[in-house]
Amino acid sequence: MNNKILISVVGPTAIGKTALGIHIANYFDTEIISADSRQFFKEMCIGTAVPSPKELATAKHHFIQHISIEDQYSVGDFEKEAMAKIHELFQNHNVLVMVGGSGLYVKSITEGLDDFPEIKPEIRQNLNELLEKDGLQKLQEKLKNLDPEYFSKADIENPHRVIRALEICLGTGKTYSSFLNQKKNKRNFNIIEIGLTADRQVIYDRINLRVDLMMQAGLLEEAKKLYPKKHLNALNTVGYKELFSYLDHEIDLDFAVSEIKKNTRRFAKRQLTWFRKNQNIHWFDFKTKPEKINKFISEEINNLN
């Protein structure tokens, strides 16, 4: 396995990762592991920007719409399944491509996850009930008191992250941050990390355009179909929760769309903050020709051999 290569393509939402990943996969005649946690769910399509049927036909993808919004699926489940798939695919390929903007899911493969103890399920259940009853802010305040270190750097707008940190704090009596960055299992394959970026305004313009295109493609109709299941964790995500507020007559449609744009821009900003901490990523402007990036990767592979 020591001569096998995983090429990881990361960057903010709407930057062009899918297209680049396909170019790289075709150049190296290989397959793609998706590490975009929003694209795992088969019922969510337009709002998660899953690759089109044409794109999926151009290069074989794994972990695209492979589970239901009804399923309980964690980053730990993904690490286990994706690592098994990677080892299986390496039997026939020397190079694989992984594409995704979900930082923790990418990290679970490139570095491995931190090792957390088992927590009684009723603790999470209680926290979910508290979220339902009192809202996210109450949980954020609780986390700030129990683990100010993690609170200061966490994505506290993400209820999954907040609940996960709290259940560890409450279940162990220790801070969530004390379990982070412990020694992890080293991967037995090489990893080349590629990042796509652009000026912030360009990223924001691309996001705004993408949301408009999603609305034209039927995002509201998709949200209406999913509305009866809006309580599910998987649907507590940008693009759907704003339209659910519109369907609940809390806001008008124009405001819902502007909120999707604003929240997606915030998400992109958090993605960039996360990925820029990683010194191993080789950054390219989103307009860089794929041929140039493939040439760079080939040179990196030669240097490894």
Residue 14 marked ligand-binding: yes
* Nearest partner of 256 among 242, 240, 241, 267, judged by Cα: 242
Residue 11 marked ligand-binding: yes
**Cβ atoms 9, 290 nearer than 8 A:** no
Residue 18 marked ligand-binding: yes
* Nearest partner of 48 among 197, 200, 230, 222, judged by Cα: 222
Residue 197 marked ligand-binding: no
Residue 12 marked ligand-binding: yes
Residue 13 marked ligand-binding: yes
**Cβ atoms 95, 8 nearer than 8 A:** no
Annotated binding site for substrate: 13-18
Annotated binding site: 11-18
Annotated binding site for ATP: 11-18
